Structure 1
Amino acid sequence: MLPCAINYQTVVAAAKREDNLIRLVSVDYGNDTDEFDLFKPIEFLPGKMWANYIRGVVKFLLARGYTFSGADICVTGNVPQGAGLSSSAALEVVIGQTFKTLYDLDISQAEIALNGQQAENEFVGCNCGIMDQMISAKGEQNHAMLLDCRTLESEPVSMPEAMAVVIINSNKQRGLVDSEYNTRRLQCEKAAQVFGVKALRDVSIEEFNQNQQSLEDVVAKRARHVITENDRTLEAAKALQAQDMKRLGELMAESHASMRDDFEITVSEIDCLVDIVKDVIGDQGGVRMTGGGFGGCIVALIPPSLTDAVEQAVTAKYQAATGLQASIYVCQASAGAGVVEVLEH
């Protein structure tokens, strides 16, 4: 994986309490509140989804053996929700970071990420991976992160300082995501079985080319995407480090074509956005779909001098072609979770 953190944030103001109460307020949900006791079972609240992410993080910090007292916590932020920009991971990680800071917990950034993923998987009930939490917890300014999701080993990959990360939400309602995701997961597991490996990351492109006739046509397409995408990710990290924007653009174009043709998770609106942006940026950057597919967002890595032209082209052409209005976020690669200020009183 090769994510980067962006300069949209979830922010917490917090204070220790002498008792075992956790008291919450969410500025962005009309100052909605929640309260629970650390010494009582921490339960899911159907009517307060924002609070469940926090409840889950606290529940699993306790389950991991960390000890702490209560806290007053106020949450706000500007990460767009439902846009595929990982607002839930940002919340999970900032809550883990809050308890680490308040109570001086001996917990690594990687474990904060894992704890957040566990909260989302087992408490909230969303079967996400670890990438979003890891980049939220460990991201560095002007760097992407090359992440091995099996070992959780990560290394920072420098990005050109003069690079805009432009995220464009198609605002296409995402349907079928869960069922289609599960289908593709099963297809990839089937391919891995045929190759006799735990996961497709253990199959080289050469091995795939020699043995793809052993797979059903659709399964072969799914496997080819995963195997070639892993290779492209490593190549993209090298291109970024070398500031080779032409090569990065080629790799992102190949990646998008693979998602469209082999993994079949793009939709016409997403393909339309990619084409509009590609026409503007040429070989000065790259653009592809990002996220789970069937709608959602595209990401473009471009010189800041082209952001206005991209915005103008999308505004002029996308709605005319699709009837939808895109939302555009011009970002930069930023640091992940950290402490803003500690006030002594």
Structure 2
Amino acid sequence: MTPLQQANQLFEQKFHRTSELNVYAPGRVNIIGEHTDYNDGFVMPCAINYGTAVSGAKRDDHIFNVYAADLEDTDQFSLTTEITPVANKKWTGYVRGVVKFIQQHCPDFKQGADLVITGNVPLSAGLSSSASLEVAVGKFCQQLGNLALTDTQIALIGQMAENKFVGANCGNMDQLISALGEQGHLLMIDCRSLATVAVPVPENIAVMIVNSHVKHDLVTGEYNTRRQQCERAAEFFGVKALRDVSIEQFKQREAELTAIDEDTAKRARHIVTENQRVLDAVQALNQGDIQTLGKLMGQSHDSMRDDFEITTPEIDYLVELAQVAVGNTGGARMTGGGFGGCIVAVAPVEKVDAVRQLIADNYQKQTGIKEDFYVCTASQGVQVWA
């Protein structure tokens, strides 16, 4: 059963009526371009065939009555009083935050609703379950109130909710790809201008995601520290964001920055080189050159491990296994915010079984943790269903 079918069914059971509005927003995996989004840089994710569904119907008052099916938990709040966070119920922040910031854009939005939320994006795995939820709720509100909001605006409202309501200082990539993803394509996003370029995935290529089951939490993790270090580096170079520093400019002043703060210099080196890797990866994919993409993914992982220092031994081991299995026919790297979560591997379809097998034979034996393995397809962004 798809998340949408499940949400529909649960809505009928819970509220004893038929849902009038059904929205689905996908999770994402980032193929290359990690931590570049909040540096105004370039990223290349794809929406995946795992996501969040919201089914609901109008109420005749101003109450949002929410049932989170996967958590078997509820939340209720009014759209006519100030919307505030709920202590010890983190998931409610993603819903409340989106509604709050939609009201900032559209002050007349006060239409209450009963809604059920369910999804199949693995939680805390770096596949943007939170962005998927934010975009789904945002689109639901837009449809519910017939609001003049574009999908890009909905994505940015989702980011605002995560930054200012939940407290995770994420960039805009996750929400943008959930809102704007294109079937069969990766999406190169310029996180400053918000311009997107659809980049085709060759037909025989599989996108594999392996969940290390090492959990991360970006709010309490070191994500915000990395962001501050990047801001310090941009200040050092006298630019708005590290996006504005070329590899040549970085090399000219690398020693100077290292003498002041070695960690900040390492973080900057990752961002500056990663931006270039994304641009090179677009070129490679447009030429169907998976071998070059694989090399760039390998370099990206090394940079995250050595310069940005956001990988874990388990993640490094998974990448190593995947790289052995795909050889020079593709690549693998950590994906997501870091400190656990998932790796992504890209390779011809006929390599999937070899990657799965090598990891199944070794990962648990080495780490004591059982992995989860997903084969994904590049999918459409947020959609409304009758």
Shift of 1:204: 0.9
* Cα distance per residue 1:139-180 (max 9 Å; x no partner): 111111111222222222221233222111112244898563
Secondary structure of the residue aligned to 2:133 is: helix
Q: Does 1:56 align with 2:97?
A: yes
1:92, 1:336 → 2: CA distance?
A: 13
Is contact 1:177-1:294 (8 Å) kept?
no
Is contact 2:335-2:342 (8 Å) kept?
yes
Within 5 Å, give how 1:265-344 maps onto structure 2.
265-341=310-386
Shift of 1:247: 0.6
1:295, 1:123 → 2: CA distance?
A: 24
Q: 1:37 to 1:178 in 2, by over 3 A?
A: closer
Within 5 Å, give how 1:88-237 maps onto structure 2.
88-174=130-216, 178=220, 180-216=222-258, 217-237=262-282
* Cα distance per residue 1:265-308 (max 9 Å; x no partner): 22221111111011111111110011122222111112222212
Q: 1:49 to 1:77 in 2, by over 3 A?
A: same
Equivalent pairs counted in the alignment come to 340
Is contact 1:163-1:332 (8 Å) kept?
no
1:198, 1:252 → 2: CA distance?
A: 27
Q: 1:70 aligns with which of 112, 135, 156?
A: 112
The more displaced of 242-251 and 14-23 is 14-23
Q: 1:8 aligns with which of 32, 50, 57?
A: 50
Q: List runs of 5+ in structure 2 lacking aligned partners.
A: 1-42
Map of 1:238 onto structure 2: 283
Question: Given residue 12 of structure 1, which amino acid in structure 2 is its aligned partner?
Answer: V
Secondary structure of the residue aligned to 1:289 is: strand
Secondary structure of the residue aligned to 1:151 is: coil
Is contact 1:245-1:284 (8 Å) kept?
yes
Q: 2:69 aligns with which of 20, 27, 34?
A: 27
Q: 1:137 to 1:281 in 2, by over 3 A?
A: same
Report the TM-score when normalising by structure 1.
0.93
Q: Does 1:258 align with 2:299?
A: no
Larger strand share, 1 or 2 = 2
Map of 1:42 onto structure 2: 83
Is contact 1:252-1:287 (8 Å) kept?
yes
Q: List runs of 5+ in structure 1 lacking aligned partners.
A: none
Question: Given residue 319 of structure 1, which amino acid in structure 2 is its aligned partner?
Answer: Q
Instruction: Give the RMSD, CA atoms, in angstroms.
Output: 1.8
* Cα distance per residue 1:59-81 (max 9 Å; x no partner): 11111125331112111111111
Is contact 1:318-1:326 (8 Å) kept?
yes
Secondary structure of the residue aligned to 1:9 is: strand
Q: 1:294 to 1:52 in 2, by over 3 A?
A: closer
2:215, 2:63 → 1: CA distance?
A: 39
Q: 1:179 to 1:326 in 2, by over 3 A?
A: closer
The more displaced of 169-178 and 111-120 is 169-178
Is contact 2:230-2:268 (8 Å) kept?
yes
Report the TM-score when normalising by structure 2.
0.83
Q: 1:181 to 1:55 in 2, by over 3 A?
A: closer
Shift of 1:233: 0.6
Shift of 1:17: 2.3
The more displaced of 225-234 and 53-62 is 53-62
2:216, 2:198 → 1: CA distance?
A: 32
Q: 1:22 to 1:255 in 2, by over 3 A?
A: same
The more displaced of 172-181 and 312-321 is 172-181
2:165, 2:321 → 1: CA distance?
A: 40
Is contact 1:256-1:288 (8 Å) kept?
yes
Q: 1:247 aligns with which of 271, 274, 292?
A: 292
Within 5 Å, give how 1:80-95 maps onto structure 2.
80-95=122-137
1:153, 1:302 → 2: CA distance?
A: 27
Question: Given residue 151 of structure 2, which amino acid in structure 1 is its aligned partner?
Answer: Q
* Cα distance per residue 1:100-147 (max 9 Å; x no partner): 222321101111011111111222222221111000011111111111
